[in-house]
Amino acid sequence: MRPAGRAAAAGHPGGGWRRRPAPQLAVAGKRGCRDGEGEGGQGGGHPRSDPAVLPSQVSLQYDSSGTWRHTCGGTLIDPSWVLTAAHCISSSLTYRVVLGKQVLSEDEPGSMAVGVEKIIVHEKWNSFLIINDIALIKLAEAVKESETIQPSCLPPAGLILENDYPCYITGWGRLRTNGPLPDTLQQALLPVVSYEICSQRDWWGSNVRPTMVCAGGDGITSGCNGDSGGPLNCQREGLWEVQGIVSFGSALGCNTAKKPTVFTRVSAYIDWINEVGAPSSGPVPTQPGITP
């Protein structure tokens, strides 16, 4: 957590967003990563108005005296690898990853829990400045793709989405500041806020770096505690991509105007992901002329 009035990591107890239960997990096209084409889909790179929750969403859970408790979200990016936030990880805890879930307390068909082989936290993660807030989890066993479990698409390296680009946050985070943790996976529309706007003094100022992406900020809808590590999903060229990893929000409360949810920008870390995790899907292509 950061001092009051500054930034607070979003994955540990605190705030809320106006959202609704996410629709059931379902396949919308090809294997390997989520295809945006399907019933209700729209062209032009804009997401459908009611997108299906991506089957790449996971719940990161820790062992508390024999009981598994949700602490953060994450994204399956390869049958053996999960992307999450560095601030979600504690070396003193034992973790597992739960995949294919909608309702955490229910034994749902198609869901599974997998142990963790190793966790790689970014070597330049800084918990005070909340920079390089990214980690990779290698699963103890590769998961088999199904209707409820599929890897997400990664964006091209260096990709920057335009201001107000429609994206979606999903997770099991608190429904409001100091509110309850939902049992059912939630979703909300969070439009991108450009770096030029988000870094203004009356927004996040210098707390925001170019390696981050902001979304929301209307004072009504935001990420909250328990959402950390989870995805910001955006549809681009017909494919759903994980563009962000929930990193931090305002210590003044989750739904604070001009304090949008801040995400680690995945496109700034594609080289790192390939170097340390080496997903079996191979290197992600770069986008010429754009640097992280």
Q: Do 83 and 74 form a contact (C-beta atoms < 8 A)?
A: yes
107 catalytic, yes or no?
no
* Catalytic option among 35, 70, 87, 250: 87
14 vs 174: CA distance, rounded Å: 7
Torsion sign over Cα 284, 134, 143, 104:
negative
64 catalytic, yes or no?
no
* Catalytic option among 35, 78, 133, 227: 133
133 catalytic, yes or no?
yes
* Catalytic option among 59, 199, 222, 228: 228
13 vs 252: CA distance, rounded Å: 13
Task: Please report the beta strands in the chain, taking only residues with DSSP state E, as ranges in sequence order.
Answer: 7-9, 20-21, 57-64, 67-78, 81-84, 95-99, 112-121, 135-139, 168-171, 186-189, 192-193, 212-215, 231-236, 239-250, 261-265
Q: Is 202 left (phi over 0), alpha (psi -120 to 50) or beta?
A: alpha
Active site residues: 87, 133, 228
